[in-house]
Amino acid sequence: MSDLPTSARAVVIGAGIVGNSISYHLSELGWRDLVLLDKGPFPNPGGSTGHASNFIFPVDHSKEMTALTLDSMRQYQDLDVFTESGGIEVARTEQRMQELHRRMSSAHAWGIDRVSMVTPAEIKQMVPFIDETILLGGFSSPGVGVVDSLRAGTIMRERAVAAGALTISANTEVLGVDVERGRVRRVRTTRGDIETEVVVVACGVWSPAIAQMAGALIPLTPAVHQMIDIGPVPRFASSTRHIEYPIVRDMDTFMYERQDGIGLEIGSYAHRPILHDPEEIPSIEQAALSPTELPFTQADFDKQMEDALELMPEIVGDESVGVKYAINGLLSLTPDGMPLLGETHEVRGLWSCAAVWVKEGPGIAKAVAEWMTHGESEIDLHSSDIARFWDHQKTRAHVRARTSEGFNKTYGIIHPSEQWASNRDVRLPPFHARQRELDAVFFEAAGWERPHWYESNAPLLEEYADRINQREAEWDARWWSPIINAEHLAMRDRAGMVDLSAFTIFDVAGPGALEAVQGVAVRQMDVPVGRVVYTPVLTPGGGFKADLTIMRLDDELFRVVTGGAHGPADRKWFADRLPQDGSAQIADLTSAWTTLGLWGPRARDILGSVTRDDVSHEGFRFGSCRTIEIDTLRVLASRISYVGDLGWELYVPIEQGQKLWDVIAEAGRPHGLAPVGIGVYGTTGRLEKCYRAYGFELESEYNVCEAGMAGPKVKDEDFVGKQAHLRHRDEQPAAIMCTLTVDDHTSASGVKRYMLGREPIQTRDGQPLTDSRGRRSYVTSAGAGPSVGKHLLMAYLPPEQAQVGAELAVEYLNERYPVTVAVAGSTPIFDPDNERIRS
C-alpha cells in the first residue's frame, strides 16, 4: 500500500459501489490527484455493498430514479458484471393488480418497452416452483438482472488507478474533516493528513457521522433489511449459472425471492422498522460478520417465512432445505426515500453521495461527477439534491419519524399525492387557526401545513353542481375533493384567497445585488424599482434550474420568491454565485414574511375597500409591487398571478398575518370571497393558464424554447446558461410543451377515469412518442380545468405532434384514452388573451 499523498484535488471517503464509481467517473472527466479511502479492507470494506442483494428492477414511478437505474445497468453491462435473469412483480390483491398496471404505464413513460402483464399460468411457466393459485397476475420485466457490485467497484477503482488519477488507501480511518471559513481544507486520517478542497462523502450508513466531523448534516438513518438464504435447493443443483430463474417480488407481502446459486434468497421490507444510529454500528473488529451484517432477529421474520412458504412451497417447505445465512443487513433510508446528492448546504466543497443503493450507484456516481465538474448533470437530480431539505428535516427525530413511516412503503402502493402522517404541524402559517376553523384539509409542503381545500366550502358544490364531476374510481379520488373545483369556480366568478406561506423568500442586497441577480436570471433585472419579474433560472447547459419571481424593492435590494420545496436549492444556487468581493449578501426571510394571495374579478373591489391607496388598473399596473396600507397594516402588494385572474400577492410580517387574513376575509364577505386551497393554486388554476411548474414541466432536461418561455429578445448581460440558451433559440426545438384535453374518460370496464400525471402520451394506436433527443412524451401535470370543462394534461410533444387538434392518446393504468392537443406552446387555454389578469 502506497503512502498517502499530503494533498489531493479531491478525497473520496468510502469504497463501496458509490465511492469506487465516483472515483472512476471523476478520473474519466479529467480529475487527477484523487484519493479514495476506506476504513475497511478492499475489495469488501464491510459496508452495505458487501451484503447487497445486487438485483436491479429498472422500472420506478420516479423518472429520475428510473433514468439513474437504467444508466447504472448500462454501466454494469459494460463492465461485464450483469446477468440478465428477468423479474416478475406478482400480485395477490386487486389493488396490487391496479398498481402493476400503473407500473406498466410508468415503464412506457420512461421508455422501457420490454415489459408485460402476465397471467398466473405464465408466471408458473417462468417460475415453476411458485404456487400460482394464490396470485392474480404479475408484471414481467425481462430486463431485470443481477450484478456483481464488488467486482464492478474493483474494476472501476483499478481503472482510475491505472489512469494515474487515483491513489487508494484501505484500512484508513477518517479522524476529522477540517473546515476553514465555510470550506473544506483537509481530511485527517489514521495514515496522515491530506490537504484538499473537495471531499466526497460516499460512506453509506456512516455518512452522517463523517459529515458531522465537518459540521454538516446528511439526513439518513441506517435501517435493517432482513434477508435469509436457504439451501441447498434440489431444483437448483444442476444450475450452471448463478441465477437461471426470474427474480420474484411478492409485492403484497413486501418480500422478494431469488435464486442465488444453489440457494434461494428471501428478503423482506415487511418487518417493523429497525433503525440504528451511525455511531452505534460496530467496528470491523467487533462485528461477528461485517459491520453492516447485524445479528438476525428471528421474531421479526416469522410472518415473512409463512408468506414465503405460501408462495414457494416446493422450495421453502422442503425439510432438507436449511436456513444457512440470515442477517439484519443495514442500508440507508432517507426522510423522503430519495438519495442525498450534491454539495452540502453547510460546507463548501463537502459533497454528499449517500443513501444510494447498488441498483442506481454507478449512474448516480456518474451524474454527481458531472455535477462536480460542469455544475450540472445530464440526468436532472433535483429530487435527490441534498439541498432540498430545510433544517428541521435534517433532525434525527424527523429522519427517524419519516423513515419509520417510509420503510414499509418500500414495496408499498404509494399514491402520487400521498401525504406523510408523521411529524406534521412543524411549520404553521399565521392563518392556521382560521384555517382549522374552516375545516381545511392540510397537505404538507416543505414542512408547512397548507390547506389543499376547505371542507367549509362544501356548499359551493351545490352552486356549481352542473359544472363539477365526481371521480368514480377511488384511486383517482384519493387525496382529492370536488370542492377543489368548486373553489376554483368561485374564484373565477368572484374571488379567492390563498395561503402562500410556504413561499421561500430571500433578499439579495448590497452594491453588487443587481450584478448577482442579473447573472442568474434569464430576464432583464435592471428594471425600475417596484417591478416584479418572473424569470427562468438556467443551468450552464440551458436547462431549467428554477423559475421564480424577483421584486426590485430598491436600487440595491431584490426580493426573490420561489417555491417552498425547492427554495433551499434555489437559495444555494444564488448564494454560490454571489460576487466574489462580498458586495452582495443573501438574507433568508422565509420565516419573516407571510403571503396571502387574493385573486378573482372582485379582487380589486375587495382590496379597494380596505386601502386608501390607488389599486386601479392604471394606478397599480400588472407586474408591479409596492407597499400599501391595508387597515392598520403596511403590506407589500405585488400584482402578479399564477391562477390567471386579477389580483395581488400580499406580503406582511408573519406575526401580522392573521390580522391581514381577518381584514381581507371580512372585506370579501359581501363579495363572496372564498378561501381557496393549493388544489386550485397549484393545479386547476395553473393548468387552465398553461403555467409551467418547476419539477413538473421545468427540469434541467428541457430548455426555455421547448417550454415556450423564450422572451422576445435576450438581454445583453451575461447569465448562467446564456450561451446554451442562445444556441437553443437558433435550433428547432426537439419538443414543444403542449396542453391536451381528454376526449373520453371511459375505461374498458365502463368507469370514468382521471389521469393524475406522469402517464405516457402515445399515438391513438399506442405507439410511443419519442423526440429527436430520445425523450419520451409523458404527462408532466394533470388536473381538472373546471372553467373549460375538461381534464387537462401537459406534455412535451415532438414538433410533428405538437399541433393544435392533433389526436393522440394517454395511457392510464395500462389502458388508452383519446386526447387532443388543445394548445401548442404557452397560450393559455382559459382566457388566452389574459384579459382577466390585465383588467
Sign of the dihedral defined by the CA atoms of residues 409, 384, 57, 45, in that order: negative
Candidate list 2, 133, 240, 320; residue touching another protein; CB under 8 A: 320
Give the distance, in angstroms, between the CA of residue 835 and the centroid of all CA atoms in the same chain: 35
Contact 658, 436 (CB under 8 A): no
Closest to another protein by CB, 292 or 590: 292
Length of the chain measured in residues:
839
| C-alpha span between 44 and 38 (Å, rounded) | 10
Sign of the dihedral defined by the CA atoms of residues 796, 800, 806, 811, in that order: negative
Give the helix/strand (H/E) hosting 340: strand 340-343
CB 484 → another protein: shortest distance, Å? 49
Contact 713, 726 (CB under 8 A): no
CB 257 → another protein: shortest distance, Å? 12
Catalytic annotation present for 38: no
Find all residues with CB under 8 Å of 34, minimum gap 6, and list them.
8, 9, 10, 11, 12, 23, 26, 27, 160, 165, 166, 167
Contact 203, 14 (CB under 8 A): yes
* DSSP-assigned beta bridge partners for residue 451: 442
Closest to another protein by CB, 328 or 501: 328
The type of residue at 668 is: G
Peptide bond into 43 cis (omega under 30): yes
Give the distance, in angstroms, between the CA of residue 788 and the centroid of all CA atoms in the same chain: 30
Per-residue cell: 499: 395561503
Residue whose C-alpha cell is 439526513: 219
CB 355 → another protein: shortest distance, Å? 22
Closest to another protein by CB, 318 or 759: 318
The type of residue at 509 is: A
Catalytic annotation present for 276: no
Per-residue cell: 151: 467486482
Helices (H) and strands (E) in the chain, counts: 21, 40
Site map 324..343 versus another protein, x via CB under 8 A = x-------------------
Contact 73, 143 (CB under 8 A): yes
Candidate list 117, 323, 426, 724; residue touching another protein; CB under 8 A: 323
3-state secondary structure of 199: strand
Closest to another protein by CB, 292 or 393: 292
CB 318 → another protein: shortest distance, Å? 7
Give the distance, in angstroms, between the CA of residue 785 and the centroid of all CA atoms in the same chain: 25
Residues 639-658 that bind another protein (CB under 8 A): none
Stretch that binds another protein, among 53-61, 313-321, 524-532, 690-698 (CB under 8 A): 313-321
Per-residue cell: 760: 405516457
Closest to another protein by CB, 328 or 683: 328
Residue 170 within binding range of another protein, rule CB under 8 A = no
Residues 203-262 that bind another protein (CB under 8 A): 230
Report the phi/psi class of residue 546: left, alpha or beta, with left for phi > 0 and alpha for psi in -120 to 50.
Answer: beta
* DSSP-assigned beta bridge partners for residue 172: none
| C-alpha span between 188 and 173 (Å, rounded) | 9
Closest to another protein by CB, 147 or 233: 233
**Could you tell me where the beta strands, DSSP code E, fall in 526-571?**
532-538, 544-554, 557-562
Give the distance, in angstroms, between the CA of residue 394 and the centroid of all CA atoms in the same chain: 17
* Number of chain residues interacting with another protein (CB under 8 A): 30
Site map 273..312 versus another protein, x via CB under 8 A = -------xxxxxxxxxx----xxx-xx--x--xx-xx---
| C-alpha span between 312 and 300 (Å, rounded) | 20
Find all residues with CB under 8 Å of 170, minimum gap 6, and list them.
1, 15, 38, 40, 41, 42, 45
- Write out 276-324 in H/E/C secondary structure: CCHHHCCCCCCCCCCCCEEECCHHHHHHHHHHHHHHCHHHHCCCCCEEE
Catalytic position from the list 318, 547, 645, 831? 547
Catalytic position from the list 24, 245, 256, 702? 256
CB 224 → another protein: shortest distance, Å? 13
Candidate list 318, 380, 449, 697; residue touching another protein; CB under 8 A: 318
Per-residue cell: 377: 448533470
* DSSP-assigned beta bridge partners for residue 808: 763, 819
Per-residue cell: 441: 384539509
Closest to another protein by CB, 309 or 428: 309
Catalytic annotation present for 225: yes
Contact 251, 96 (CB under 8 A): yes
CB 324 → another protein: shortest distance, Å? 5
Q: What angle do CA 42, 45, 46 make, to 5 degrees?
A: 150
CB 158 → another protein: shortest distance, Å? 13
Candidate list 321, 368, 794, 797; residue touching another protein; CB under 8 A: 321
CB 247 → another protein: shortest distance, Å? 19
Closest to another protein by CB, 95 or 298: 298
Stretch that binds another protein, among 82-90, 319-327, 483-491, 755-763 (CB under 8 A): 319-327
CB 276 → another protein: shortest distance, Å? 10
Per-residue cell: 526: 435592471
Stretch that binds another protein, among 314-322, 537-545, 572-580, 595-603 (CB under 8 A): 314-322
CB 301 → another protein: shortest distance, Å? 9
Closest to another protein by CB, 37 or 316: 316
Closest to another protein by CB, 323 or 714: 323
CB 305 → another protein: shortest distance, Å? 5
Closest to another protein by CB, 176 or 295: 295
CB 296 → another protein: shortest distance, Å? 7
CB 322 → another protein: shortest distance, Å? 2
Catalytic position from the list 225, 345, 398, 452? 225
* DSSP-assigned beta bridge partners for residue 675: 497
Find all residues with CB under 8 Å of 253, minimum gap 6, and list them.
92, 270, 304, 307, 311
Closest to another protein by CB, 290 or 404: 290
| C-alpha span between 257 and 265 (Å, rounded) | 6
Closest to another protein by CB, 5 or 282: 282
Question: Burial letters for 401-418: b for 16+ Cβ neighbours within 10 Å, e otherwise?
Answer: bbbbebbeebbebeeeee
| C-alpha span between 111 and 130 (Å, rounded) | 30
Q: Which residues bind another protein (CB under 8 A)?
A: 230, 280-289, 294-296, 298-299, 302, 305-306, 308-309, 316-324
Residues with active-site annotation: 225, 256, 547
